Amino acid sequence: MKITKKHIYILGSILILSAIASQYFAKERGRESYRKFNEAKIDTVLKADSYIFAKGSGIKLTDGSAYVFYPHTDKMLNDNKIFYQVAKRGDRILKDSKSDTLFLYKGNTILKYTFVKTH
C-alpha cells in the first residue's frame, strides 16, 4: 500500500483529535477530583504515606477514602514543607467541607495547606 498525502492528513487529524480528547478528559478528571476533595469533611489518619499522583498529592485515609489535590507550599503556613514529602502514615488530616485549608498534624506540629482550586 502506497502512503499518500491523504493518508498522512487523515493520520495527522486522528492524532490531533486524540490529543485534544485526552486533554479534555484529563481536565474533567481534575475537576471531579477537586469537587470530591472540596466537598469532603476529613478528620482521620493517613493509611499510607502521601504520594505523587497526576502531578498532585494523593492521600489514602484509614476511613477508606482517597483523594488527589494540589497543595501550595508556603513559608508562613507550612514552613515550605512539600506535602507529599512530609505527610506520612499515621499523621492526622483535618479539613472541613468546602474549606480552603487542610491541616496536617505531625505529633505536636501543625502544618496548614491551601490548595489549587479547579473549576
What's the pTM value of the predicted model, to 2 decimals? 0.79
The residues pairing with 51 across neighbouring beta strands, listed in sequence order, are 58
**Rounded CA gap, 71 and 64, in Å?**
21
**Whether pLDDT at 119 is above 60:** no
The pLDDT of residue 61: 96
Smallest CA-to-CA distance from 98 within 32, 42, 57, 26 is with 42
**Whether pLDDT at 116 is above 90:** no
The pLDDT of residue 117: 81
pLDDT digits (tens, 9 = 90+) for 80-108: 999 999 999 999 999 999 999 999 999 99
Q: Vertex 16, ends 10 and 22: CA angle to 5°?
A: 135
Torsion over CA: 26, 29, 31, 33 (sign): negative
Considering only residues 100 and 118, tell me which one the structure prediction assigns the higher pLDDT.
100
What is the DSSP code (8-state) at residue 38?
H
The pLDDT of residue 54: 82
pLDDT digits (tens, 9 = 90+) for 27-58: 888 888 889 999 999 999 999 999 998 888 99
Domain ranges of the chain: 5-113
pLDDT digits (tens, 9 = 90+) for 3-13: 788 888 899 99
What does the block give as the cell for 98? Answer: 468546602
Amino acid at 29: R
SS3 content of the chain, % helix, strand, coil (to 5): 35, 30, 35
**Rounded CA gap, 77 and 66, in Å?**
23
